[in-house]
């Protein structure tokens, strides 16, 4: 990104595609170099870019960077003892569960900072 002196604000775009045809965030009012994003989808890839603005105009868009969200832990499935089962020993009862599968929760947050 070319350097602009006396930056007044920044434009930040975050999209789920590298062509930026739709936006997760399209903010042209930023006066700081940090922005906390809204909740993002689990296991998803996003693209972002930024430009600087002052009275003389706007810089070119920065190089497009991308990142992937992690997601929530997998839900475990209980194996033993069976649900509502009876006659288990008082001592030495073993609990088993598997590693589980993905959940559908959506509460990831990522902070994105521009590079000056």
- Residue ranges and CATH numbers for the domains of the chain are 9-73+106-113 (2.60.40.10)
Would strands 34-36 and 57-58 be described as parallel, antiparallel, or unpaired?
unpaired
pLDDT tens for the chain, 116 residues long, are 555 478 999 999 999 999 999 999 999 999 999 999 878 998 899 999 999 999 999 999 999 999 999 877 777 888 888 888 888 888 888 888 888 666 544 443 444 444 44
Would strands 9-15 and 45-54 be described as parallel, antiparallel, or unpaired?
antiparallel
Q: Given this model, what pLDDT does residue 114 score?
A: 44
Please, which residues have CB within 8 angstroms of residue 7's CB and are 6 or more apart in sequence?
52, 53, 54
Please, which residues have CB within 8 angstroms of residue 107's CB and are 6 or more apart in sequence?
39, 72
């Amino acid at each position: 990104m070319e350097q602009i002196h006396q930056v007044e604000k920044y434009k930040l775009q975050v999209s789920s595609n590298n062509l930026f045809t739709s936006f997760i965030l399209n903010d042209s009012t930023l006066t700081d170099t940090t922005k906390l994003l809204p909740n993002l989808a689990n296991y998803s890839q996003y693209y972002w870019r930024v430009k600087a603005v002052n009275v003389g105009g706007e810089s070119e868009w920065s190089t497009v960077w991308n990142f992937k969200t992690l997601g929530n832990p997998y839900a475990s499935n209980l194996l033993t003892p069976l649900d509502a089962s009876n006659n288990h020993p008082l001592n030495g009862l073993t609990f088993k569960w598997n590693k589980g599968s993905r959940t559908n929760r959506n509460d990831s947050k990522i902070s994105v900072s521009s590079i000056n």
